[in-house]
């Protein structure tokens, strides 16, 4: 196994060769100093590096004088590429997967290849490192004991508003059942959409919603804007143009739950889970049961009752 055992081997330059398998390697989100020693060793000694964008990764490899062959593995070819990489790993190769920045698989390709590798009985090794979501969270000042990462919201305004409505529904279901502590919400957002997204959030949760805009983390112009959504909107609107990479965090919004809204929101919350996580209704009910502390069968009966009453109203 590829494990650092500092107690028995204090000379960290003497290492056994990498074991065959898939290495999920985190790379810097801006500051090249954030690459880990282990990431460099894996990238240097693996047989092949599968990258989201070979040009982007070559810049990183050149900087660290690494000459391992690269192959593209992005959202449009991940499925086909997986077969080829799995065959190589079955033959004993060590393959590293990297994305353009941060941890592969987090709003980046990777999950499909990992699943395929596991299904093929191969080992998958995480090589941890920076991720924008976690870096932003820990410096945000918002609660960290429970958080919910939503990745990117839809680009089109209508779809974005429905996604936010569904999130609000899910929060109301959680709040009304009171089983779990409220979670800080984390989103990735493009600079040209941040104002519209914040406006949608303000409309949904009010002026006092506490937000943090974490921009250009680990880079020269790193910036955190913290405050009410109204204040942060004012600060951003005053800029000539919002630039850079942005992670957006929300303090747990006030859900305003009532007993009746819970029933109304249940179907929306179920639909949201199914579409965002691409899971079956059964699995979505299981997750909802975990979130709310209610039993799966109780939720299922309620969903059936709500559907029956919606159908009879439609007649």
**Among 214, 242, 255, 262, contact with ligand SAM (rule: CB under 6 A):** 214
Of 102, 109, 252, 253, which lies in the binding site for ligand SAM, with binding defined by CB under 6 A? 102
Q: Which is nearer to ligand SAM, 15 or 74 (CB)?
A: 74
Compute the residue count for the chain: 315
What is the biggest distance separating any 2 CA atoms in the chain, rounded to whole angstroms?
Answer: 76
Q: Which is nearer to ligand SAM, 235 or 280 (CB)?
A: 235
Nearer to ligand SAM, 173 or 232 (CB): 232
41 or 219: whose CB is closer to ligand SAM? 219
In whole angstroms, the minimum distance from the beta carbon of 51 to ligand SAM comes to: 13
Per-residue mark of binding to ligand SAM, 22-61 (x: CB under 6 A): -------xx-------------------------------
Q: Which is nearer to ligand SAM, 70 or 213 (CB)?
A: 213
In the complex, what is the shortest distance from the CB of residue 128 to ligand SAM, in angstroms, rounded to a whole number?
11
Closest contact distance (angstroms) between CB of 21 and ligand SAM is: 21
Alpha carbons 310 and 315: distance in angstroms, whole number:
9
Q: What is the closest distance, in whole angstroms, from the C-beta atom of residue 310 to ligand SAM in the complex?
A: 37
219-258 footprint of ligand SAM as x/- string (CB under 6 A): x-------------------------xxx-----------
**Nearer Cβ to ligand SAM, position 51 or 217?**
217
With CB under 6 A as the contact rule, the residue among 34, 108, 200, 265 that binds ligand SAM is: 108
Residue ranges in 128-147 that form contacts with ligand SAM under rule CB under 6 A: 131-133
Closest CA to 198 of 185, 214, 182, 209: 209
Q: Please, which residues bridge with residue 23 across strands? A: 96, 125
Taking CB under 6 A as the criterion, the residue among 40, 66, 88, 106 binding ligand SAM is 106
Three-state SS for the chain is CCCCCCCCCCCCCCCCCCCCEEEEECECCCCHHHCCHHHHHHHHHCCEEEECCHHHHHHHHHHCCCCCCEEECCCCCHHHHHHHHHHHHHCCCEEEEECCCECCCCCCCCHHHHHHHHHCCCCEEEECCCCHHHHHHHHHCCCCCCEEEEEECCCCHHHHHHHHHHHHHHHHHHHHHCCCCCCEEEEEECCCCHHHHHHHHHHHHCCCCEEEEEECCCCCCCEEEEEEHHHHHHHHHCCCCCCCCEEEEECCCCCCCCHHHHHHHHHHHHHHHHHHHCCCHHHHHHHHHHHHCCCHHHHHHHHHHHHHHHHHHHC
Rounded least distance, CB 89 to ligand SAM, Å:
22
Choosing from 82, 95, 96, 101, the residue that interacts with ligand SAM (CB under 6 A) is: 101
Q: Per CB under 6 A, does 202 bind ligand SAM?
A: no
Binding site for ligand SAM (CB under 6 A): 29-30, 99, 101-103, 106-108, 131-133, 188-189, 214-219, 245-247
């Amino acid at each position: 196994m590829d494990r650092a055992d500092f107690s028995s081997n204090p000379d960290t330059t003497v290492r056994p060769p990498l074991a065959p398998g898939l290495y999920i390697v985190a790379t810097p989100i801006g500051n090249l100093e954030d690459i880990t020693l282990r990431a460099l060793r894996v990238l240097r000694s693996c047989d092949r590096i599968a990258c989201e964008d070979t040009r982007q990764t070559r810049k990183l490899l050149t900087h660290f004088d690494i000459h391992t062959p690269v192959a593209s593995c992005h959202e449009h070819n991940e499925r086909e590429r997986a077969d080829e990489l799995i065959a190589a790993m079955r033959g004993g190769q060590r393959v590293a997967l990297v994305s353009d920045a941060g941890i592969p698989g987090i709003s980046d390709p990777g999950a499909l290849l990992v699943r395929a590798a596991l299904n093929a009985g191969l080992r998958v090794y995480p090589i941890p490192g920076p991720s924008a979501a976690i870096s932003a969270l820990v410096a945000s000042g918002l609660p960290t004991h429970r958080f919910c990462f939503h990745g990117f919201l839809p680009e089109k305004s209508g779809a974005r508003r429905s996604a936010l409505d569904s999130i609000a529904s899910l929060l109301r279901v959680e709040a009304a059942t009171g089983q779990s502590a409220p979670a800080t919400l984390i989103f990735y957002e493009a600079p040209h959409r941040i104002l519209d997204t914040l406006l949608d959030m303000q409309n949904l949760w009010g002026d006092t919603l506490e937000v943090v805009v974490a921009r250009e983390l680990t880079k020269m112009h790193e910036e955190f804007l913290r405050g009410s959504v109204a204040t942060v909107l004012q600060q951003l609107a005053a800029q000539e143009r919002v630039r850079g990479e942005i992670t957006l965090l929300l303090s747990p919004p006030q859900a305003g739950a009532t007993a009746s809204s819970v029933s109304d929101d249940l179907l929306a919350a179920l639909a949201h889970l199914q579409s965002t996580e691409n899971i079956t209704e059964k699995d979505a009910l299981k997750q909802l049961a975990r979130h709310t502390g209610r039993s799966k069968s109780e939720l299922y009966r309620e969903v059936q009752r709500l559907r029956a009453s919606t159908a009879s109203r439609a007649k």
